[in-house]
Structure 1
Amino acid sequence: MGLQSALSTALTGLTAAETSIDVTGNNVANSQTVGFKESSVNFATQFLQTQSIGSAPTTGRGGTNPRQVGLGVKVAEISPKFTQGTVEISSNPLDLAIQGDGFYIVEGAGGKQLYTRNGQFKTNANNEIVTSTGQRVLGFGVDSNFEIQPTGLRPISIPLGAAAVAQPTENVYLEGALDPNGEVGSEPGVIQSDVLSDGTKEIPSNTSTASALTKPNETTSVSATLGGSIANGNYRYRVTFVDGDGNEGPASNVTSTINLSAGGSGQINLSSIPQPAGTSEFTNIRIYRDLNGDDDFRFVDSISSGTTSYSDTLDTGSLGASLASGGLDNGSYSYYVTYYNSTSGLETRPSARFGPVSADGTTSPRIRLDDIPSPSNDPNSGSFDGVRIYRNQANSQNEFRMVGELTPTQVAAFGAGDISFIDNTPDSAIASAPEINLDGPEISFALPLVDVVTRDGSNYTNLFKEGVLDFTGNKGGRDLATKEFTITSTTTVGDLISFMEQSMGVLKTANEDSFPGSVNYGGTIQDSRLQFTSNMGVQNELDINLSGFQLTDLSGSISSLPFDFTSINPDSAPVNGEGGSAEFVVYDSLGIPLSVRVTTVLERKTNNGAEFRYIATSPDNEPETGDSTIVGTGVIKTDGNGAIISVTEDTVAIDRRESPSASPLLFQLDFSQVTGLSTGLNELSASRQDGFAAGTLSSFIITETGLIQGVFSNGSSRDLGQLRMARFANNGGLEQVGDNMFSAGVNSGLPIQGDPGANGLGNITAGAVELSNTDIGQNLIELILASTQYRGGARVITAVQQLLDELLALRR
């Protein structure tokens, strides 16, 4: 048995040496494997053959030791060494090195959790972090708001170029200087449009004509006879032509004087009485007579046209009214015709200008107007029932004054036909008469815009059409954003005024006592003009350029409206109120950029400070109703040292009701860096704001605690995930399953999870890897020792073989 046991004992030594060589070879082979942990082999004695258990000491003997013969060696343990490997810098931001205890948690086949120290990670086609052998790395993910969700482990993804994020503005930080020693606002800017008129009222049609009337020739034959009632004296005559409407033309020249001799009364015979030419409308002839050259020609009689002779027997006391004196001056005359309402006094805009007609005070001292249309007296168009006639003066061709007025009774007397009128009024008689209003009836708030008329010289046009009006106002010398206004058949002047004042950001009221209440800010109608009063301050002064109105009508045609506004501030009271302004961009919840402008004006000075009002406007405001661009206002108060002591309302609210963004966008204006010292300047600017436009994920960083933070193209950062790690009570009890992976073993204990750096876990270094902890020199020594062990065992077998050979040789 001795030789046989020697063979088996030597064989166990060979087997143990082989195991040691295998482990050492594996250590050396994985010396460049990231995160690899080398192993060592521990041996133990195998069975023993006990020849004697020995004896205890007695009084006679000292005792003996046990006699045991070993029967070989066995591998007691192959144990990995979890000592820290060297950390080496890497260029891959996903390479991670653990410094300290712990393992990364990954997902193995079938969803089983595995553990590794190899931090050579990358992303797959789904942007998930995976190991070099394809296992998904586990940790906590994030929700749609990039909030860490610690509800369970799941694969972590880094969606470079895919994820987008925006950050709404919460704070805007302003800096600059507001001079409390400037001029307090007391004169607001006021602008007004050209005169507009109401196009719904009746307009006289353009059918009037005018012609000069020449004097009839005087009667060429006058004789006197006895037998009448005319007293003795010297007499002269004049005749006039009268039309069917009773209009009387110019009087003829004076006839020669006829004398009735003393001694008795008589009659005067007229012959060769002049007649109207052709088919004239003059149907009657009036005869006038004076006495003894007193030039008071008084009515004698009326005869029908065509009568060429007449015998005058009328005594002087029975004569009628005197012949109307006067006549036109020498000059050229033009006319306008209007209608008026005798009750309300409302007057239409005039007909087209007609004429000119030349008048000669000697031969043609009167002008006849024909074809003057009658008013319809329609209650829907003004109930006009009278007619007014306007004429220029010979020495003032563009100044038209009223020369005649036909009352409703006179108009009714003309019937349904056209009206005629003979003008014989000299210029001196109308010098102080009412001047014509070429613009016509005034507009009102309720007037439809499509009925608003504007005048350019003698041309009248409807200013607005149905369509979309693009309006660009100006405030403080800077053009505002263009706003759209839809015009329909029912859109009124009041609607336009409200739209304009809201789009230009006119603050009409405020809650603070310091807001001047004696001024009606905003739009109104004044003398048939649109008028807008701006808020106090040079920075709030309103203006509208010639190109401020662009109309796209229903046919798609685009045109600029001739709608001009001018300032009416007198030179003696210019716009005042010093202040500064700042323009900046903020972002809503979707990252949409919104423009904001803040203007300030010095409102009040006190004995221990000053007060400035700020007004914030935004063209991107989308209120529930209307088009208001006002998004905030408040009073900035400074103390005697120029420090900002309070702002009555520093929150700005921009409604986003027509956008899918969260509404309203609320942010605060921080005036803490604004000084109220008297620097002689009024400057305001936004130094920064904390919102961001939408941006895509462009890069990321991983902190030592395993938090993955994404950096977006807009400069903002968000959490993308949280790496989790695990540690075990006995790392040596883990089961190696290949691919640098371990699984929990029966003697490893349960995994204790946590964030890197917590719960006894090591920290993470990004952009680095933990190298293998294989000690090449030590392993080569181990290899030499194992080889020596193997050779020694082989010598034992050889020796035993030789002894057996000798034993077998005894038979020879």
Structure 2
Amino acid sequence: MSFYTSLSGLQGAQTELSAISHNLANVGTNGFKRSRVEFGDVIASSVTRSPTQIVGSGTFVKSVTQQFGQGGLQQSQSSLDIAISGEGFFVIKPNANTAQVAFTRNGAFSVSADRYVVDAQGSALQVYPVDGSGTVVATGIGSTESLRLPLTSGTPQATQDVQLSVNLSANGKVPSADPAYSATNPYQFDRFDPDTYNYSAATVIYDSVGNPMTLTSYYVRETTPTSTDPSSSWTVYNYVGDRQLSADPADPDAGVPVTLTFDNNGVLTNQSGPVQFGTITPAGAAPQDLTIDFSISTTQRAAAYSITAQNQDGEPVGQLEGVTVDPNGIVRASFSNGQTQALGKIALAQFSNPQGLRQLGNSYWSATGISGEARLGEPGLGGFGNLMSGAIERSNVDITEELVGLIAAQRNFQANAKAIDTANTLSQTIINIRG
């Protein structure tokens, strides 16, 4: 009988060695939870047996329980690396288009080729759908969605109105009065020659499909104040790309410039509203009308040339530039046009008995009858943990503790092996007794 008693001890010690070895092997696995072997003693008794004379029959493994204590948090440079500080599991789908779900504490996520937020195994992170303000609009595990990043945001809008005001230096000279020009070498404006204009201002505008274009305005001083005429005049040539705009809408190809006149106080006197230009037709886009309002705060002062007001009403399609996750689990995408969009709220799951979860490998778990059904909630509410973006939860294995346990398990194994050897020696001695 002692053989089998010690054999049960050997088997138990071997199981403990296996569990500890598994823990140590996964010390670097993100979201891994260590296991602990629970033993029970085997007692065979009857109502007629004296309780003071009962000898046990060995041990057996009651369970290998998982320890769901918090693992250490390691900082990361990715906003899609997410750690749960507290209780809860991420909900994931091994296939984004199926109803099958699994649960994990490993929050190392990235973006797949089809823009789903997935883990290293390609399982999609599940989120609650939200409205534009980030309020959850549907709950329950059947309402979760696989988080997917959009490529663009918004609808393109062609620029129609531009507000452009500058300060033109009162000390500016008239380019045509430069002695370098003469009857044989007359002055002529040339946008490629900075000596033929005083100042230029560029404004980005958009066509009907959202493509950016550059509107460049070139300011040329024509007159300076005199004793008989204290006013000053400037000519403004406006180009979109290589096309010169015409201030005569009836003749969009004439390339008519705009004239600005200032009084002796530097106040604009001849433009009180927007200037309508002729229709332009960008390549691959619809025709668009364009107005430029120079009158808002354009001045002529002794200060340096500068832009004092610049605005336009066009809007491009926003390209995805970044994604963030706040502590409450709201995932937001930001776009190149300045827009932000709430994509969803990360769903977390809890269980009545997490030790009853079935291990699936890769730091995945699934619900069982022992664990109970998943109870879903939101980060920071109802006992669920908070989320930390830019961090990863490491394994909760303590190497020192495991090594001490490994030594103890080894000693237990050796002791039971010694007990078998002793029992064998006793049996051999009895067999060798001769009458």
What TM-score does the superposition give when structure 2 sets the normalisation length?
0.63
User: Does residue 35 of structure 2 align to residue 44 of structure 1?
Assistant: no
Where 1:732 maps in the other structure, the secondary structure is helix
User: Does residue 111 of structure 2 align to residue 123 of structure 1?
Assistant: yes
Where 2:8 maps in the other structure, the secondary structure is helix
Q: Which of 407, 416, 422 is the aligned partner of 1:793?
A: 416
User: Does residue 126 of structure 2 align to residue 138 of structure 1?
Assistant: yes
Q: Which whole-Å deviations, capped at 9, do the CAs of 1:611-631 have from their partners, x for residues lacking one?
A: xxxxxxxxxxxxxxxxxxxxx
CA shift, 1:111, in A, is 3.1
Where 2:138 maps in the other structure, the secondary structure is strand
Within 2, Cα distance between the matches of 1:124 and 1:147? 26
Q: Which of 83, 89, 95 is the aligned partner of 2:81?
A: 95
Structure 1 residues 627-706: aligned runs within 5 Å: 693-706=316-329
Retained in 2: the 8 A contact 1:17–1:787?
Answer: yes
Retained in 2: the 8 A contact 1:165–1:712?
Answer: no
Retained in 1: the 8 A contact 2:91–2:102?
Answer: yes
Q: Which whole-Å deviations, capped at 9, do the CAs of 1:413-464 have from their partners, x for residues lacking one?
A: xxxxxxxxxxxxxxxxxxxxxxxxxxxxxxxxxxxxxxxxxxxxxxxxxxxx
Q: Structure 2 counterpart of 1:90, which letter? A: S
1:105: which partner in 2?
Answer: 91
Where 2:154 maps in the other structure, the secondary structure is strand
Q: Structure 1 counterpart of 2:90, which letter? A: Y
Within 1, Cα distance between the matches of 2:138 and 2:399? 42
RMSD of aligned residue pairs (Cα, Å): 4.0
Q: Structure 2 counterpart of 1:17, which letter? A: A
2:248: which partner in 1?
Answer: 548
Rg (Cα) greater in structure: 1
Within 1, Cα distance between the matches of 2:333 and 2:117? 14
Within 1, Cα distance between the matches of 2:22 and 2:113? 33
Q: Structure 1 counterpart of 2:111, which letter? A: T
Where 2:80 maps in the other structure, the secondary structure is coil
The structure-2 alpha-carbon separation of the partners of 1:104 and 1:559, relative to structure 1 and needing over 3 Å to count, comes to closer
User: Does residue 153 of structure 2 align to residue 155 of structure 1?
Assistant: no
Structure 1 residues 434-453: aligned runs within 5 Å: none
Within 1, Cα distance between the matches of 2:425 and 2:249? 121
Within 2, Cα distance between the matches of 1:25 and 1:770? 21
Q: Which of 80, 84, 109 is the aligned partner of 2:66?
A: 80
Within 1, Cα distance between the matches of 2:136 and 2:309? 33
Q: Structure 2 counterpart of 1:139, which letter? A: V
Q: Structure 1 counterpart of 2:248, which letter? A: G
Q: Structure 2 counterpart of 1:34, which letter? A: N
1:671: which partner in 2?
Answer: none
The structure whose RCO (Cα within 8 Å, separation 6+) is larger is 2
CA shift, 1:696, in A, is 1.0
CA shift, 1:720, in A, is 2.0
Higher strand share: 1
Q: Aligned residue pairs: how many?
A: 315
Within 2, Cα distance between the matches of 1:99 and 1:549? 64
Retained in 1: the 8 A contact 2:81–2:107?
Answer: yes
Q: Which whole-Å deviations, capped at 9, do the CAs of 1:357-389 have from their partners, x for residues lacking one?
A: xxxxxxxxxxxxxxxxxxxxxxxxxxxxxxxxx
CA shift, 1:551, in A, is 4.9
Within 2, Cα distance between the matches of 1:762 and 1:560? 65
Structure 2's unaligned 5+ residue stretches are 158-162, 166-245, 257-267, 276-287, 297-307
The structure-2 alpha-carbon separation of the partners of 1:749 and 1:548, relative to structure 1 and needing over 3 Å to count, comes to same
The structure-2 alpha-carbon separation of the partners of 1:705 and 1:142, relative to structure 1 and needing over 3 Å to count, comes to closer
Retained in 1: the 8 A contact 2:133–2:342?
Answer: no
Within 1, Cα distance between the matches of 2:2 and 2:341? 71
CA shift, 1:688, in A, is 8.0
Retained in 2: the 8 A contact 1:550–1:559?
Answer: no
Identity percentage over the alignment? 29
Where 2:54 maps in the other structure, the secondary structure is strand
Retained in 1: the 8 A contact 2:134–2:330?
Answer: no
Q: Structure 1 counterpart of 2:75, which letter? A: I
CA shift, 1:689, in A, is 9.4
Retained in 2: the 8 A contact 1:52–1:66?
Answer: no
Retained in 2: the 8 A contact 1:129–1:136?
Answer: yes
User: Does residue 401 of structure 2 align to residue 804 of structure 1?
Assistant: no
Within 2, Cα distance between the matches of 1:560 and 1:755? 61
Q: Which of 739, 743, 751 is the aligned partner of 2:374?
A: 751
Within 2, Cα distance between the matches of 1:690 and 1:763? 41
1:318: which partner in 2?
Answer: none
Within 1, Cα distance between the matches of 2:129 and 2:414? 58
Within 1, Cα distance between the matches of 2:126 and 2:312? 37
User: Does residue 153 of structure 2 align to residue 164 of structure 1?
Assistant: yes
Within 1, Cα distance between the matches of 2:121 and 2:82? 15
Structure 1 residues 732-743: aligned runs within 5 Å: 732-743=355-366
Within 1, Cα distance between the matches of 2:427 and 2:83? 59
The structure-2 alpha-carbon separation of the partners of 1:690 and 1:48, relative to structure 1 and needing over 3 Å to count, comes to farther
The structure-2 alpha-carbon separation of the partners of 1:598 and 1:723, relative to structure 1 and needing over 3 Å to count, comes to farther
User: Does residue 6 of structure 2 align to residue 17 of structure 1?
Assistant: no
Within 2, Cα distance between the matches of 1:549 and 1:709? 44
Within 1, Cα distance between the matches of 2:11 and 2:145? 45
Where 1:711 maps in the other structure, the secondary structure is strand
What TM-score does the superposition give when structure 1 sets the normalisation length?
0.35
Where 2:16 maps in the other structure, the secondary structure is helix
More off after superposition, 24-33 vs 110-119: 110-119
Retained in 1: the 8 A contact 2:156–2:316?
Answer: yes
CA shift, 1:31, in A, is 0.3
Q: Which whole-Å deviations, capped at 9, do the CAs of 1:483-519 have from their partners, x for residues lacking one?
A: xxxxxxxxxxxxxxxxxxxxxxxxxxxxxxxxxxxxx
Where 1:797 maps in the other structure, the secondary structure is helix
1:188: which partner in 2?
Answer: none
